[in-house]
Structure 1
Amino acid sequence: MREAEILRHLAFGRNNKEIAGALELQEETIKNYTTNILKKLQVRNCVGAALKARELSLS
């Protein structure tokens, strides 16, 4: 559930620091979530994740 929320933020072009502030979490925690999201979606970067999120209608 949290990963989907973070993926939505990524889809809007937010970086880890911005997401951490919005969700009141540590930036390192967001970095770990982001790494897991990229692996699960089999993409290399946040741009790829954002495109995948839009493809899945999550943004």
Structure 2
Amino acid sequence: MSDAPDPDECLFPPCPRCETPVVRITSSGPHSHAASPCGCWLSLADVRALRG
């Protein structure tokens, strides 16, 4: 049995890189964005799609 959340039951959008639910997005500059908790780097287009 896996501890990973079921994407169909999750309230958070999936990371476009690894499918882990994105709980928070950290931006440290206009072109530096990271998804949490996975840590994947995101483009500005990814960030906009996750917030949309």
Task: Give the structure-2-normalised TM-score.
Answer: 0.31
Task: Give the structure-1-normalised TM-score.
Answer: 0.29
Q: Hey, which of these two has a bigger chunk of strand by percent?
A: 2
